[in-house]
Amino acid sequence: MRQFIASPPPAPPPPWPAGAEPPIAARWLESDLRRVEEQLALDEALLDETHAGRLTTPVVRTWMAAEPTVVVGSSSRIDEEVDREACRRAGARIVRRPSGGLTVVLGPGCVMWSVVAPLPAETPPPIARLHAAMLDPLAETLVAAGRAVVRRGSSDLAVRDADGERKVSGNALRVRRGAVLYHGTLLDDFDLELISQLLRHPPREPDYRAGRAHAAFVANLALGRAALDAVVRRAFAARDLLSDWPVERVASLVRDRYDSVAWTERTG
């Protein structure tokens, strides 16, 4: 008689974002912070909490700058990417974020979104997988909301219109052991001319930009803040509310880093 030996059950897939699916329950955070520096510090503080194991489910949030602000990447060279004199004339502050990527301009009509999520400490996924895990569900949900959004470059979302594909979202990430911060822009009702006024042509660009100037390359989604909040929450199943956040850590990061000229002006 042949003996049949039961095979062990397949191993479960690794948790999102290392695995294939967004979380079944992330938490949504709303804060009353007013300054861009505080918002960037909150992103980093949440990353610290996840890295330390005190946050074990993804945290999702959105926010909007109250006034035009230029935000450079962690390794950006300001004078290579930013017109300082134009910023002075416009009253636009220059601040530095904790993640990579190139410079962006924030302000009313530009919704910022952030996801902080745990990662497997021993075998973190490749960066390309993280981009896909964050941007694919967001793009799909924007399509469901009526916008012809596609992923382009390494970390952009673009909308297809009569003029081709125009960028509506640029994104960046920072990875620590056991944690990732992923955040970026959603242009919705933004003064797009500000980008041309305050930024130089970027030192590198995705192929689909094809050398276009800022004004010919970017577009607004025109969905409205409430609709975009709903899109982000739906994309990452952020149903439950997170009622508290690391207030003291945010304050110390603002004081020691984000309000520091040495941090803003660093060159790498």
pLDDT, tens digit, for every residue of 31-49?
999 999 999 999 999 999 9
Rounded Cα–Cα distance for residues 57 and 13 (Å): 16
**What average pLDDT does this structure show over 131-145?**
97
What pLDDT is stored for residue 263 in this prediction?
A: 97
What pLDDT is stored for residue 4 in this prediction?
A: 47
Rounded Cα–Cα distance for residues 68 and 208 (Å): 27
What pLDDT is stored for residue 6 in this prediction?
A: 54
Task: Count Cβ atoms within 10 A of the Cβ of residue 59 and give its class: 0-12 exposed, 13-18 middle, 19 or more buried.
Answer: buried
What pLDDT is stored for residue 1 in this prediction?
A: 43
Best CA proximity match to 134, nearest among 147, 148, 119: 119
What pLDDT is stored for residue 267 in this prediction?
A: 80
The domains of the chain, with CATH numbers, are 26-264 (3.30.930.10)
Can you list the pairs that 159-164 forms with residues at least 24 positions away whose Cβ atoms lie under 8 Å? 159/219, 159/221, 161/219, 163/216
**Beta strands 156-161; 164-176: pairing state:** antiparallel
Question: What is the H or E stretch that residue 181 is in?
Answer: strand 179-187
Q: What confidence tier does 11 reach under pLDDT thresholds 50, 70, 90?
A: low
- Does residue 71 carry a pLDDT above 70? yes
**What average pLDDT does this structure show over 173-197?**
97
3-class SS at 126?
Answer: coil
Q: Which of 64-68, 81-85, 159-163 has the lowest mean pLDDT?
A: 159-163
> Quick check: 173 and 100 in contact, CB under 8 A?
yes
**What average pLDDT does this structure show over 110-119?**
97
Rounded Cα–Cα distance for residues 166 and 158 (Å): 5
**Phi-psi domain of 108 (left: phi exceeds 0; alpha: psi -120 through 50; beta: other):** beta
Express the helix, strand and coil content of the chain in percent, nearest 5 each: 30, 25, 40
**What average pLDDT does this structure show over 75-95?**
97
Question: What is the H or E stretch that residue 114 is in?
Answer: strand 110-118
Tell me the per-residue pLDDT of 238-258, one tens digit each, with 9 for 90 and over: 999 998 999 999 999 999 999
- Does residue 5 carry a pLDDT above 70? no
Average pLDDT, whole number, for the chain?
Answer: 93
- Does residue 25 carry a pLDDT above 90? no
Higher model confidence: residue 9 or residue 185? 185
**What average pLDDT does this structure show over 53-81?**
97
Tell me the per-residue pLDDT of 151-181, one tens digit each, with 9 for 90 and over: 999 999 999 988 789 999 999 999 999 999 9
What pLDDT is stored for residue 24 in this prediction?
A: 73
> Quick check: 96 and 261 in contact, CB under 8 A?
no
